[in-house]
Amino acid sequence: MEKEEAIRGLGALAHPGRLDVFRLLVQAGPDGMAAGEIARTTGSPQSSLSANLTILSNAGLIVSRRDGRSIIYRAAYEQMRGLLAFLMEDCCAGKPEICAPLAAQASAGCAAEGARC
């Protein structure tokens, strides 16, 4: 991942509402959630949710698909992994044991949620 792409992703997540939506979609797994369900779960007004979904989508952190009259959103796990890898690629000054607990925690969280991390 390039630096500018990482900045877009981190910038998109640097907002409480967008971070809540992204985390909800990560928890929802590969099936994702309909926009209306996201709004109900987060308590977001439709206009705010729409803007937040657009920003997350433009950053490549979520993807959408149409299902009848609904739009289903899901986390873009590959992009999420890329962003996490970017943050950790130069980690630990040659001491991988420093980052190992974080990697193990992330793997355990993904397995517990049934998500594809």
Model confidence at 111: pLDDT above 60: no
> CA-to-CA distance for 18 and 12, rounded, in angstroms?
7
- CA–CA distance, 40 with 116 (Å, rounded to integer): 24
Across 81-112, b (16+ Cβ under 10 Å) vs e yields ebbbebeeeeeeeeeeeeeeeeeeeeeeebee
- Least-confidence region, from 20-29, 36-45, 96-105: 96-105
96 or 19, greater pLDDT: 19
Sign of CA dihedral 12, 13, 18, 23: positive
0.75 cut: is pTM over it?
A: yes
pLDDT tens sequence across 90-108: 777 767 677 777 766 666 5
pLDDT at 75 over 80: yes
What are the structural domains, with CATH classification, of the chain?
Answer: 3-87 (1.10.10.10)
